[in-house]
């Protein structure tokens, strides 16, 4: 457990200190269902039909996604005369994640960057709404939309992806740079928020997520 302060907030992180290899299929994830008049979208902050760790149509190594040091971090601040502490929220994330991940998103509240090579780039920073309940729409010739993404590869030849986390907050919060980086993340907005920008490339464009079936020997 470690404590830190940044941007007017205090943080308590509980890290599990584990290296995890994972194969799993998660479907129909909806986080943050409430009315947001400015942009209601599908009615949720994050609407994720598929989050799939690993694939079954490639090498045995690609069946697994490697995760380092999962953690939960609680966010506090002082209120009033500083004698009262208020819990603002928490986030769950990993120090690093590497592997092939099937991913489909209908609505994203968060900060995401995916390199699609010659097909273009998906970047939530292009959204005029600041990434809150973004439908992933894209009009420029050099950009990708969420609808075009069927999967991502976390990590590259220089190392694993280092900034995956999901927060749930009652107020906007500025988190610190992830370990091993100097890039301070975009401010996490109130509600549910997903951050993932580091070393992330598209597995495919305008194609279905890769299959992830049970291993049969």
Cα(132)–Cα(124) distance, integer angstroms: 9
Give the count of beta carbons closer than 10 Å to the beta carbon of residue 174. 13
Tokens of 175: 């988190």
Q: How confident is the model at residue 83 (pLDDT cuts 50, 70, 90)?
A: confident
Cα(2)–Cα(41) distance, integer angstroms: 37
Sequence-ordered strand ranges (E) for 24-83: 24-33, 44-53, 65-79
- Is the predicted pLDDT of residue 209 greater than 70, yes or no? yes
Q: What is the pTM of this model?
A: 0.95
Instruction: Output the pLDDT for position 84.
Output: 87
Burial of 118 (0-12, 13-18, 19+ CB in 10 A): exposed
Q: How confident is the model at residue 81 (pLDDT cuts 50, 70, 90)?
A: confident
- Is the predicted pLDDT of residue 90 greater than 70, yes or no? yes
Residue 110, SS3 per DSSP: strand
Cα(45)–Cα(98) distance, integer angstroms: 25
Residues 21-73 have pLDDT tens digits of: 999 999 999 999 999 999 999 999 999 999 999 999 999 999 999 999 999 99
Q: How confident is the model at residue 217 (pLDDT cuts 50, 70, 90)?
A: low
Burial of 56 (0-12, 13-18, 19+ CB in 10 A): middle
Q: Where are the alpha helices (DSSP H) in 157-217?
A: none
Residues 111-137 have pLDDT tens digits of: 999 999 999 999 999 999 999 999 999
């Amino acid at each position: 457990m470690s404590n830190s302060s940044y941007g007017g907030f205090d943080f308590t992180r509980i890290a599990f200190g584990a290296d995890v290899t994972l194969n799993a299929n998660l479907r129909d994830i909806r986080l943050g269902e409430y009315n947001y008049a400015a942009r209601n979208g599908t009615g949720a902050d994050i609407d994720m039909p598929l989050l799939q760790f690993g694939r079954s149509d490639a090498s045995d190594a690609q069946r697994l996604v490697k995760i380092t040091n999962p953690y939960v971090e609680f966010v506090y601040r002082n209120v009033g005369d500083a004698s009262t502490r208020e819990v603002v929220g928490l986030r769950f994330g990993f120090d690093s994640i590497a592997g092939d991940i099937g991913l489909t998103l209908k609505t994203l509240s968060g900060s995401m960057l995916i390199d699609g090579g010659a097909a273009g780039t998906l970047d939530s920073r292009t959204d005029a709404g600041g990434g809150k309940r973004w439908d992933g729409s894209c009009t420029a010739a050099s950009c990708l939309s969420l609808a075009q993404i069927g999967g991502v590869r976390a990590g590259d030849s220089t190392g694993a992806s280092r900034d995956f986390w999901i927060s749930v907050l009652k107020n906007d919060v500025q988190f610190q740079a992830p370990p091993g980086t100097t890039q301070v993340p975009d401010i996490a907005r109130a509600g549910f928020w997903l951050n993932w920008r580091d070393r992330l490339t598209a597995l495919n464009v305008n194609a279905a997520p890769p299959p992830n079936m049970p291993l049969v020997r």
